[in-house]
């Protein structure tokens, strides 16, 4: 299944018209957006379905929310999440070297990881790097995911209510038009 921005927008429009309690639709969307920020990339849909089932939320809304972090957004989302996590864990101090880094420095640093003398040394280096970034990444994705999920909840709740208000208004106007004939 290919996930695209157009497909996401179509799903979101359909969600606004679901016949379910607005808070359940909005809660599903908010939870899905939170899940989309988690570092479990590739498992977001599965996690969203399991959580929607466990919390008895709308599955369509939850899965659609989990698709917010599309592949072309993921590097930016995880990069910013890593920086936010580092800032939180360091007490707001900018880690040394962040201010002077260029793309060339990043490439030079990453090349050293790929030029390991042996597979064992390379795996050890990769494990060290993974542990070094996992804590700030989890903290950052949790904070940003919670913020984005709360915003998604509020926007979806208002969207569902507005669609229902407009639908009721249209039905009232349509009903009056038939009476005057």
pLDDT band with cut points at 50, 70 and 90 for residue 22: very high
* C-beta of residue 61 within 8 angstroms of C-beta of residue 18: yes
Output 133 or 178, whichever has higher pLDDT: 133
Of 94, 38, 88, 95, nearest in space to 66 by CA: 38
Q: Where are the alpha helices (DSSP H) in the chain?
A: 5-16, 22-37, 44-55, 59-66, 74-89, 103-114, 119-179
Of 115, 161, 154, 153, nearest in space to 33 by CA: 153
Give the model confidence (pLDDT) of 155-180 as tens digits.
999 999 998 898 889 888 876 544 44
8 has a pLDDT exceeding 80: no
9 has a pLDDT exceeding 90: no
Chain mean pLDDT for the chain: 82
What pLDDT is attached to residue 180? 44
CA separation for the pair 146, 167 (Å, rounded) = 31
Q: Distance from first CA to last CA of the chain, Å, rounded?
A: 50
Overall domain count for the chain: 1
Q: pTM for the complete prediction?
A: 0.75
56 has a pLDDT exceeding 90: yes
Stretch 19-34: mean pLDDT? 93
Question: In terms of residue numbers, what domain contains 120?
Answer: 1-181
Give the model confidence (pLDDT) of 107-122 as tens digits.
666 666 666 566 677 7
Q: Which residues, at least 6 apart from 36, have a Cβ–Cβ distance to it below 8 Å?
A: 44, 65, 66, 67, 68, 69, 145, 148
Output 4 or 127, whichever has higher pLDDT: 127
**87 by DSSP, 3-state: which?**
helix
């Amino acid at each position: 299944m290919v996930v695209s921005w157009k497909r996401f927008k179509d799903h979101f429009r359909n969600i606004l018209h679901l016949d379910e309690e607005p808070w359940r639709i909005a809660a599903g969307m908010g939870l899905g957006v939170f899940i989309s920020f988690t570092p479990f990339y590739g498992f977001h849909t599965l996690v969203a379905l399991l959580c929607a089932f466990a919390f008895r939320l709308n599955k369509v809304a939850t899965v659609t929310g989990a698709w917010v972090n599309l592949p072309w957004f993921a590097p930016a989302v995880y990069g910013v999440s890593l920086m936010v996590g580092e800032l939180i864990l360091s007490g707001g101090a900018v880690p040394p070297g962040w201010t002077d880094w260029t793309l060339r420095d990043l490439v030079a640093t990453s090349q050293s990881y790929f030029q390991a003398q042996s597979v064992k040394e390379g795996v050890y280096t990769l494990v060290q790097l993974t542990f070094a970034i996992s804590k700030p990444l989890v903290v950052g994705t949790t904070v940003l995911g919670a913020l984005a999920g709360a915003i998604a909840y509020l926007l979806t709740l208002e969207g569902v209510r507005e669609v229902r208000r407009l639908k009721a208004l249209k039905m009232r106007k349509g009903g009056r038009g038939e009476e005057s004939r």
